[in-house]
Structure 1
């Protein structure tokens, strides 16, 4: 008696499946964020402390040097960036959590490309981080930033772009990590120096040459500066104060236009996404 052979049909991978996978991963990130109120609160505490506690303290020291503006107004774009960046990195870190609990393996055996999973993860992280940043936007009036619709829309777009790039960077790091402790250690080592060197907390004008070079090669500088220029474009401050607090980023004496900075952030994000997809395809 011959055993009957049962045929197995493998569902072909199509573009529609990849699009659906992106939607599913994005939706999962949104649900995870909405159900984790502790994460929402803890991610907001640090930038609020920096803005209202340290910003107020530093403001008392430089009050006579920068007349006509609150130092917290200067720090405000940097605190938006800090909120977005930290939230985006934590979103990317959930990949390590999924790997530890076996959920990642279930996604990897699905008939969709791993690139679709990475894209969905990056979009989800960007949307979640932007939503978190909206809360900081709501505090704009408390630090002297006007509630201009054009300004708010501009900041939202720049926040999303920065968050997408940072999430792609986080996914790149998380692709080979086996536990959350390793990921958070590497994340702190990579993000904190970049954050401090981005001009989020101090002006980029009149820096020592070595520090100017470090801020120029720091990718986060090109995410923070467009936000600051958008904010200062809506403020009425003396020209000398604007030159001191909002000098922009210069290459060999040439001040980069905002559109160039945004283009750099977008290009870096696409490049990091490509590397992240490559690393993810190699991961087990």
Structure 2
């Protein structure tokens, strides 16, 4: 009960700080919107082998991958904000408060999750005039999957920031992790178009199952096995990531 209350208090504070600087949401959504408007229209002919005979069907395949990119890359870079707070002494001053150490981490991670979900909603709305259609229950389930994905990547990023408390060291590590994860998730193009060895390698990537699950949801198949596989895999990975980063956070903030 105390953990939930403390997390809510930290989350409220972090949400207020985000509300005061909404420019970060605008900056975060700008590049995905460019891809949505300037790159996605080129995909209709490319995706024809997968049954995308219209722009609307092409967007149903592409938009879920774009939202996953937002959470993967956006989430993995959130650790830089924690580094800034560590250097400014904000985290150190939190030691004198009775707030749970885990709540200090969870409140910040949930703030990042909400910010990424707001960006995901904006991108979805921008895609509607291009023909994207998805039923509300499936969309809400896709957002749940995205929220877990954002929470997981934020927790991983915080853990990296705590393990490597240096901007110069963290940036290449995050890039090295994010690029193969993103490519092996099939975020730009479905891996059904890839050779067999690449598809086999992708199945070991938990982000691949999240992307495939979201594509099934956007295509109107909420009962597909890949949806529930994706939810289960991401939920387990999120729990493990939060536990790992919380352990590092507690060891750092005593």
Please give the range of the TM-score, normalised by the shorter of the 2 chains.
0.7 to 0.9
Q: How far off its partner does 1:229 sit?
A: 0.3
Determine the C-alpha separation between the residues in 1 that align with 2:47 and 2:120.
27
Q: 1:64 to 1:272 in 2, by over 3 A?
A: closer
How far off is 1:66 after superposition? 4.4
How far is 1:202 from its partner? 1.4
State the match for 1:261 in structure 2: 230
Number of residue pairs the alignment of both structures matches? 249
Structure 1 residue 212 and structure 2 residue 181: aligned? Answer: no
**In structure 1, distance between residues paired with 2:196 and 2:48:** 26
Name the structure 2 match of 1:118: 105
Retained in 2: the 8 A contact 1:96–1:177?
Answer: no
| Residue 278 to residue 48, structure 1, CA distance change in 2 (3 Å) | same
- The counterpart of 1:72, out of the listed 44, 59, 67, is 59
CA root-mean-square deviation: 2.4
For residues 143-176 of structure 1, give each alpha carbon's deviation from its aligned partner in whole angstroms, at most 9, with x where no partner exists. 3222532233222212212111111111211122
Q: Would the aligned equivalents of 2:75 and 2:153 in 1 still touch at CA under 8 Å?
A: yes
Q: Distance in 1 between matches of 2:109 and 2:49?
A: 44
- Name 1:39's counterpart in structure 2: 24
The answer to whether residue 239 in structure 2 is matched with residue 273 in structure 1 is no
- The SS at the match of 2:119 is helix
Q: Is the contact between residue 162 and residue 248 of structure 2 (CA under 8 Å) also seen in structure 1?
A: yes
1: distance between equivalents of 2:177 and 2:105?
A: 20
2:55 counterpart of 1:86: no
Which residue of the partner structure matches residue 249 of structure 1? Answer: none
1:59 to 30, 38, 44: 44
**CA contact under 8 A between 2:151 and 2:238: conserved in structure 1?**
yes
Contact 1:151–1:231 (8 Å) recurs in 2: yes
Q: CA deviation at 1:267?
A: 0.3
* Cα pair 2:206 2:230 within 8 Å, conserved: no
Q: CA separation of 1:229/1:212 partners in 2, compared to 1, >3 Å: closer, same or farther?
A: same
Q: Which has the higher contact order (CA 8 A, sep 6+)?
A: 2
Tell me the equivalent position of 2:131: 144
Q: Which has the larger radius of gyration?
A: 1
Is 1:159 equivalent to 2:146 in the alignment?
A: yes
Distance 1:281 1:65 in 2: 48
Change (3 A) 1:261 1:73: closer
Uncovered stretches (5+) of structure 2, i.e. residues with no partner: none
Q: Distance in 1 between matches of 2:59 and 2:238?
A: 29
- SS for the counterpart of 2:91 is helix
Instruction: Look up the match of 1:4.
Output: none
Asked if structure 2 preserves the Cα contact closer than 8 Å seen for 1:123 and 1:164, the reply is yes
